[in-house]
Chains A and B, each alone.
Chain A
Amino acid sequence: MEITWRDLMTVLHGMGFGALFMLAFTGAIIELYRMAVPGLPAIPNPRNQTLFRFYLIAMVVLAWLSVFSGAYVIYPWYRAAAPAGLTDLAAYPRNLLLSSPTTSGWHRLGMEWKEHVAWIAPIAMTMVAYVYAKYGPSLAKYRHLHRAVFYFTLAAFVATGIAGAFGAFLNKYAPIRGGETIQLMKGK
């Protein structure tokens, strides 16, 4: 069982950082919504407050790792220009997608949107984590601020969804392969 270095880094970017960040939205959205629902205990115990602070900080770290690994590790492999005259474009995903009208949209819409909209998520979630760290569960008392924080979290979720979905599709049509081969397990 083998994997190439670029495959490994792509999995780390997409699954290790991106998908984990995406999954974490469920907890953040539910907790931010729950804290302002009438009838539910607005003030969780101090342990849960601390836990939620760390939860949001972990989301922020994952968000920044996702965009930085995407922009500075994966994207250069994706956009590397193929030498003139090369017919096998498998190692040059951007050129491969643009070489056919049936796939060029994956670059022109998918990658072009994904590479920029993704940055909205870490900016928004850093704000959300800061505001919760500052106000804690009493954030629910600041009605407008709480609502804004909640909707920015939803916006970050949408931005991450766009980036993640296009990332998955792009990796289907033009996977980033190559680099050193790492042997994970010997076959029988």
Chain B
Amino acid sequence: MASTKQTASTELPNGPGAAALLAAGIGCATMGVFTLLAEASKGINTLFSFYAPTGALSGVSTLAIVVWLVAWFALHRAWAVREVAMARVSIAAFVLLLIGFALTFPPFMELLLGK
């Protein structure tokens, strides 16, 4: 993802912001991908039903949150004191955000699943 020189200036490095941004994109995309998986397979749908009254939504959202937080933690550790190529990180985050929107949109999901 570009990056990576260690910052020596007194100004805050952009790394922590970039880590939070990219992790948010990853969280949104994960929400979309897990929604698609739960829709595509009855087995995965059942597997994602962590809390029966809420159904697969409980597992989809819980796992998306876990992936988001783990990604944030890992990226933050890697970029905490670094300057990263923010333009590229932004583009990646927006693509992931769009994936999140697209894969939670039922007509698009149905198109992908050939329903």
Contact = CB atoms under 8 A, between A and B. Distances in A.
Given A79-B55, A134-B16, A117 B61 contact: no
A134 B12 contact: yes
Contacts of A152: 21, 24, 93, 97
Interface size class of A (residues with CB under 8 A): 35 or more
Contacts of B16: 134
Interface string A126-141: 1100110011001101
A91 to B, nearest CB: 15
A152 B51 CA distance: 30
Interface string A100-118: 0000000011001101110
A6 interface: no
The prevalent SS among residues of B at the interface is helix
Interface in A74-88: 75-76, 79-80
Contact of A151 (B89, B94, B105): B94
B72 to A, nearest CB: 8
Nearest to A117: B104
A119 B62 CA distance: 10
B107 A109 contact: yes
A13 to B, nearest CB: 14
Contact of A108 (B28, B61, B106): B106
Question: In this complex, which of A127, A130, A155 has the most chain B Cβ atoms within 10 angstroms of its Cβ?
Answer: A127
A120 B101 contact: yes
Contacts of B86: 142, 144-145, 148
Interface in A141-172: 141-142, 144-145, 147-149, 151-152, 155, 159
A149 B21 contact: yes
Nearest to B51: A72
Contacts of A71: 54, 57-58, 61
B6 interface: no
Contacts of B105: 113, 117
A120 B12 contact: no
A176 interface: no
A166 to B, nearest CB: 11
B45 interface: no
Given A75-B53, A138-B12, A155-B97, 12 more contacts: A71-B61, A79-B53, A109-B107, A115-B57, A117-B104, A117-B105, A123-B28, A131-B17, A134-B20, A138-B11, A148-B21, A148-B93
